[in-house]
Structure 1
C-alpha cells in the first residue's frame, strides 16, 4: 500500500513538471528557435539551389568588376570604368549628404514651427498648426514627386536659363554656380577648421567650469567663432591663397564646369526637410509644454525678456524630453532617403538596384543596403544616447 502511494506521488510530480511556468517557457522558446532555424535553412537552401540552376554567382567578388554605367551626381571622382565598389561608395556619399543636411535643416525648421505653435500671435500659431496638420498627413513619396515636378516645371530650359548673378545659372538642369578649383591646401584648411572646433569646444568647457567656480562669465562663443574663421584663413593665406574659380558654361544642351545643385537633390532635400520638420515641431511643442509654467512665471518675475526666457530657461529643460523622440526622427530621415529612387536621385538604393540588375546578385546588393543602414542608424542612436545622458539630470 505504501509503495502504491509513493509511485502515485512520483507520477503526479512528473506530470506537474510541465506545469512549471519556467520550464514551459524554456520549452516553447526552444521549439520556436528550432522552427526559425528550420525555416531559415529551407529559405537559404532554396535560394542557393535556384541560383545554381540559373547560373548566378554567389559572393561579393562582383564588387571588383568594372561598373560600366555613369552616375548623374558624383560628389567624389567616378567614371564608368571604376569598379562596382566605387559606385556603391558614390551612393553612400550621396545618402549621407542628403541625410546630414536634412537632419540639420529639419531640426531648425521644426524648432521654429514648434515654438510658433505656442505663439501668442493668433495668425502665427494657426499657420504653424496648419503646416503641421497638412504636411504630416501627406505621404512622403507624394511630396517628393510634387517637389520634383514643381522644380522641373517652373525652371526654364538651359538655353533660357536665368542668370541673376554673373556666373550663376538657374535652369531645369539645376543651379550652376562657380566652384573653386581643387588644391591640396584645402585639405589643410579643413583640418584647421576641425582643430578650431576642438579648441573652441575645450574653451567653452573651461568657460563653464570657470563660471561655476567664480561666477564670472567668459564670451567663449565669440572666441570660438574667431578661431573657426581665423585659423583656416591663416592656413589658406600661408598656402598661397589659391582662389581660381571654374565658371559654368553652356555647351550644347547643358552646362559644364562649376558646381551644380541638381533638381533631384533639391527635391529630395526639400521633401525630407519639410516632412520631418512637421514631426519635430510637435516634439518641440510637447517638450516645451512639459516644462512647468512656474519656470516662465519666475523668469517674468525676474524681468527676463520672453526670448531670453525661451532660449535660456525653457528650451534647455525641454531638451530632456525632446531628445529621445528626436532621435527617432533623425533615424527616419536617414531611412527615408531611400525613397530618392522615385525621383531619380542617385543614392545608395538607386545605384544598388542598377548594380543588382546588371549582375543578377540582388541578394548581395540588398545585404549591403541592410549593413549600411544598420551602421548609420546605430551610429545616430549611440551619438544621441550619449548626448541624452549628458543632458539628463544627475542627483547629488
Structure 2
C-alpha cells in the first residue's frame, strides 16, 4: 500500500498570491475597511467645511485668544470678563478637576466603609448598607443631583438665619461658609505639606522593606501624622511671613470673608460621592469575598484581631481583584461630572457651552471638551494600571 508524500514548502520560495489564501483575503479586507473609514471621514470633514464656508462661519481655534466678556461665578484661579476664552476654558477645566478629585477620595473612603459594612455580622449594619447600595445604584445620578441641589437651596435658611454649628462656620442657602487662611506664609505651608507627602511615601516603602527583612511593623500612621503637622508648621516659621485666619462675617444680606462652598459645588460633590460610593462598595465587597476564607482562618489562628486580619491579610490580597473594576468607577465618576451643567456648576462643559454660544465655534468647542475628558480619563487609566502592576503577583 503506497502513500503519497506531501512536500513541505521550500524555504525562501516565492509565495503565490491567490484569493483562496486566507492571509491574502484578510489583508484585502483590512485595506478595504481602512479605505471605507477614510472615505467616510473625508466626506464628513469636507461636507462640514463646505457648509461652514457657505454660512460664513469661521473655523479654527483663533477665538481662544479673544476677550471672553462673561463672568464665571466660581473660580480657583484669577479670571475676569476681560480675560480670553482660553483662560475661561482653563477655569472650567480646573473646576472639573477640583470636584472630580475630591469626589474620588470621598467616594473611595465611603465605598470602602459601606463595602465592609455589607459583610458585617451585625444584622442592622448589614441591612442598612445593603439598602444604601441598592437605592443609590438604581436612582439615576441626574435625579440625585436635582435632589441635593433642592435640599441645599430650598430647605436651608437665608443668610440672616444661617445655621451656626461652629465658630466661623455658617450653613445657608448661599452655601457653606468656612474660615480661610490668608497670607504669604501659605505658600510655604503648602510646600511643607507637599514635602510631607513625599516623605510619607518614602517611609512607606522603607517600612515595607524593613518589615519583609525583620518582621517589625513600622508605625507609619503616627509618623505620617507628625510629618503632616510639623512640616507645614516649619514652613510657616521659616518663611517669617504673616498668616491670618479670615473669618466670615454677615454684612447686609450676605457673608463677607472666608471661603465659600457654593450650593452647586456642594450638590455636585454630594451626588457624585454618594452615587459612586455605592458602586465602589460592591467592588470592595466582591474583592473581599474573593479572598480564600482559609486566609482569614489562618490569620485568626495566629491570634490577630478581626480588624488586623482585614487590614493586614484580607485587603492586601483583595486589592488585586478590586483595582481593575475600581478604575472603571473612577473613569465613570470623572465623566459623570459633566452633568454639573444641569445644576449650574461652572465646569468645562458649562464654560464651553457659553463660549460656543457666543462665538458659534460649536465643532471646536466639542473637540475641546472631548480632548479634555479623554486626557483626564487616560491619565487615570495609566496611573491605575501602573498601580495594578505594582501590586500584582509576580509569576515565576
Shared fold per TM-score greater than 0.5: yes
Q: Which moved more, 1:26-35 or 1:243-252?
A: 243-252
Partner of 2:3: none
Match of 1:71 in 2: 72
Please report how far the alpha carbon of residue 253 of structure 1 lies from its aligned counterpart in structure 2 after TM superposition: 3.9
Match of 2:327 in 1: 327
SS of 1:163's equivalent?
strand
Please show how residues 88-103 of structure 1 align to structure 2 within 5 Å: 88-103=89-104
Alpha-carbon shift at residue 369 of structure 1 (Å): 0.9
More off after superposition, 37-46 vs 26-35: 26-35
SS at match of 2:20: coil
Aligned equivalent of 2:256: 256
CA distance in 2, matches of 1:165, 1:282: 35
Partner of 2:395: 395
Residue aligning to 1:29: 30
2:295: which partner in 1?
Answer: 295
**1:55 alignment counterpart:** 56
Q: Deviations over 1:116-173 (max 9, x none)?
A: 1111111111111111111111111111111111111111122332333343322111
Distance 1:240 1:289 in 2: 53
Deviation at 1:241, TM superposition (A): 5.6
* Counterpart in the other structure of 1:219: 219
Deviates more, 1:143-152 or 1:191-200: 191-200
* Structure 2 contact 192–234 (Cα < 8 Å) conserved: no
* 1:34-69 deviation line (CA, Å, top 9, x unaligned): 111111111111111111122211111111111111
Q: Is the 8 A contact 2:177 2:258 kept in 1?
A: yes
The CA distance in 2 between the partners of 1:360 and 1:253, in whole Å, is 38
Secondary structure in 1 matching 2:171:
strand
Matching residue of 2:20: 19
CA contact (8 A) 1:204 1:221 kept: no
Q: Which residue number corresponds to residue 285 of structure 2?
A: 285
Report the CA distance between 1:251 and its aligned residue: 4.6
Shift of 1:26: 1.8
Cα distance in 2 for partners of 1:212, 1:187 equals: 38
Specify whether residues 265 and 284 from structure 1 end up closer, same or farther in structure 2 by C-alpha distance, changes over 3 A only.
Answer: same
Partner of 2:374: 374
Where structure 2 has 5 or more consecutive residues not aligned to the other structure, the ranges are: 1-15
- Superposed, 1:63-142 pairs within 5 Å as 63-142=64-143
Number of residue-to-residue matches in the alignment: 382
1:173 aligned residue: 174
C-alpha spacing 1:384/1:216, structure 2 compared with 1 (3 Å): same
1:321, distance to aligned residue in structure 2 (A): 0.2
Contact 2:184–2:241, Cα closer than 8 Å, also in 1: no
Residue 343, structure 1, aligned to residue 339, structure 2: no
Distance 1:78 1:198 in 2: 31
Instruction: Find the counterpart in structure 2 of residue 153 from structure 1.
Output: 154
1:6 — aligned with what? Answer: none
- 2:67–2:82 contact (8 Å) kept in structure 1: yes
Cα distance in 1, alignment partners of residues 255 and 50 from structure 2: 50
Instruction: Tell me the distance in 2 between the aligned counterparts of 1:221 and 1:304.
Output: 19
Give the secondary-structure state (helix, strand or coil) at the position aligned to 2:170. strand
Q: Which residue of 1 aligns with 2:313?
A: 313
Across the aligned residues of Structure 1 and Structure 2, the Cα RMSD in angstroms comes to 1.9
Task: Tell me how far apart the structure 2 counterparts of residues 52 and 119 of structure 1 sit (CA, whole Å).
Answer: 65
Q: Give the aligned partner of residue 12 of structure 2.
A: none
Cα distance in 1 for residues equivalent to 2:40 and 2:252: 57
Other structure's SS at 2:345 match: coil
How far the C-alpha of 1:16 sits from its partner, in A, is 9.5
Q: Are 2:154 and 2:173, in contact at CA under 8 Å, matched by a contact in 1?
A: yes
Judging changes above 3 Å, is the alpha-carbon distance between structure 1 residues 223 and 159 closer, same or farther for their aligned structure 2 residues?
closer
Once the two structures are overlaid, the 10-residue window that deviates more, 153-162 or 313-322, is 153-162
Residue 252 of structure 1 deviates from its aligned partner by 4.8
The answer to whether the Cα contact below 8 Å between 1:353 and 1:365 also exists between their aligned partners in 2 is yes
Deviates more, 1:373-382 or 1:21-30: 21-30
Q: Write the distance in 1 (CA, Å) between the matches of 2:66 and 2:33.
A: 42
In 1, Cα distance between equivalents of 2:216 and 2:124 = 42
Output the CA distance in 1 between the equivalents of 2:44 and 2:252. 52
Q: 1:247 to 1:229 in 2, by over 3 A?
A: closer
SS at 1:107's partner residue? helix
2: CA distance, partners of 1:138 / 1:297: 38
